[in-house]
Amino acid sequence: MKENFINLEKKINYSFKNKIYLSTALTHSSKSKNNNERLEYLGDAVINLAISDYLIKNFTDLDEGSLSILRSNLVSRATLSKVASQLGLESYLKIGKSLLNQENKKISIYGNAFEAIIGGIYLDKDFSQAASVVINLLEKEIESLKKNKTKDKKTLLQEELQQRKVDLPVYKLNYENEESFNVICEVRELDLLSEGQGKNKKEAEQNAAANLLKKLINDNG
């Protein structure tokens, strides 16, 4: 296992001073009472702050809503599980026999283990080191989002739904007055809807799409 730790530490570009943190981060609750749940809890907070800090400093032209969408994408369960898979965490993770053949649950477990590793780095060193590892490992995902940041919210929502093989959203004018328009965006297949307001119908649709996209990502995070 020590050799495995060395290989994994090379992949994350960080060597633990206290290997217990890494060992615990790779131990699922189905395997031992001394498991990674507390480190996962901590790592989740560290990752959110690290990504928020990076986005606020590097995407200075985006508003709060757009920043929230980018962050939600980066910290989603799907993204973290993808990074965990790229690191090959399945080769290091210690899980109970009851989960060995449950692939769907194992994918989520990998993402949780990644969060736990980040929590372990925070305790082993500090926030700056943990944040550095997060940004380095999410570099490809961040670069992808940089290319997509200029896309409007309706396009981003459409692409997200197409990726999930879900029907496209329906937009309905809810009400209008002299000052604003209110539009409802609905994805019936997922039983999700959101409202958006704007000075015209187009702006209201964009805001409704942005709100539904945030809800969609958060519900699957």
44 a catalytic residue:
yes
Give me the catalytic one of 40, 115, 124, 141.
Answer: 115
- Average pLDDT estimate for 168-189: 94
> What confidence score (pLDDT) does residue 3 get?
46
Mind listing the domains of the chain with CATH numbers? Answer: 2-148 (1.10.1520.10), 153-219 (3.30.160.20)
Query: Is residue 160 pLDDT above 60, yes or no?
Result: yes
> What confidence score (pLDDT) does residue 80 get?
93
9 a catalytic residue:
no
**Structure confidence by residue, pLDDT tens digits, 80-133:** 999 999 999 989 999 887 766 666 556 679 999 999 999 999 999 999 999 999
Are 171 and 185 in contact by the 8 Å Cβ rule? The answer is yes
**pTM of the entire structure?**
0.75
Average pLDDT, the chain: 88
Q: What DSSP string describes 38-75?
A: HHHHHHHHHHHHHHHHHHHHH-TT--HHHHHHHHHHHH
> Quick one: 165 exposed, middle or buried, by C-beta within 10 A (0-12, 13-18, 19+)?
exposed
Report how far residue 44's alpha carbon sits from residue 118's, in angstroms, rounded to the nearest whole number: 8
Side chain identity at residue 152, one-letter code: D
Give me the catalytic one of 9, 37, 40, 44.
Answer: 44
